[in-house]
Amino acid sequence: HFCEHMLFLGTKQFPDENAFEQFLTSGSGGSNAFTDNEDTVFFFNCAPNVLPGALERFGAFFQSPLFNEGATEREVNAIDSEHQKNLQSDGFRLSELLGQRASAEHPFHHFGTGTRATLLGSGQVSELRNALLQHYDRFYRAPLMTLCIAGPEDIRTLVGLAERFFAGVRGGEPQALPWPRPWEGVPAFEPDAFERALDVVPVSDARELQVNFPIYFAADGSEDPSAMDKEVWRRFNPAVHVGAV
């Protein structure tokens, strides 16, 4: 989440912290990003005539970010302010409560958005920046990314833009990919997590019943009929359909 924020704050080609947003605004567009449980998503929109320039600036995020030390502590404070705002969000509070009931060894149990205390604590800004650089170097690589470009141009032109502005994204290296996953084989929830209901006092005047249940993926080569294959999940995403019922 912190890395997501820092990528917007200048690149070697466009060092001004507001360069990308100012360019998009001049082209009737805007941008945003979010970090979810398994993915970080960056997106923007703009007028078709400025798409090449926007892609050039956007592509630099994933090839030459500055990660200026001067902006690091300031962005830690921005993360902390976002957390303080989330404390009054019923959706955020319920999500954190669900995470606390997950297995302690599983990543879903961990606090994911960050605060000044969890990011910086009593450490030095330089130490946080070094950790940020290591995270970026390890995970921001082409095999772990997906790029989608939509525009009125023909597909050949759009592919050309992708190759022109994203060919410099680093590929995988043996020491970086794949990374260890010590939680593999650890259930997100132990059986006793589902043995009781919780009544939560909301911040807002709201009434809601929330029912949660895990969907387990089949291990490679497994013939377990009760588990779902990951590729089937990604293609059909049953959570969307169940949520719409």
Q: Which residues pair with 35 in a beta bridge?
A: 40
- List phi, psi (to 5°) of 101: -90, -5
SS3 state of residue 42: strand
Residue 172 has a CB neighbour count (10 Å cut-off) of: 12
- Residues 9 and 66: their CA atoms lie apart, in Å, by 7
The amino acid that residue 35 corresponds to is T
End-to-end CA distance of the chain: 31
* Closest among 66, 70, 72 to 116, alpha carbons compared: 72
- Residues 37 and 113: their CA atoms lie apart, in Å, by 10
What is the helix (H) or strand (E) element at residue 81, kind and residue range?
Answer: helix 69-86
What is the helix (H) or strand (E) element at residue 19, kind and residue range?
Answer: helix 19-26
Enzyme catalytic residues: 4
- Residues 18 and 217: their CA atoms lie apart, in Å, by 42
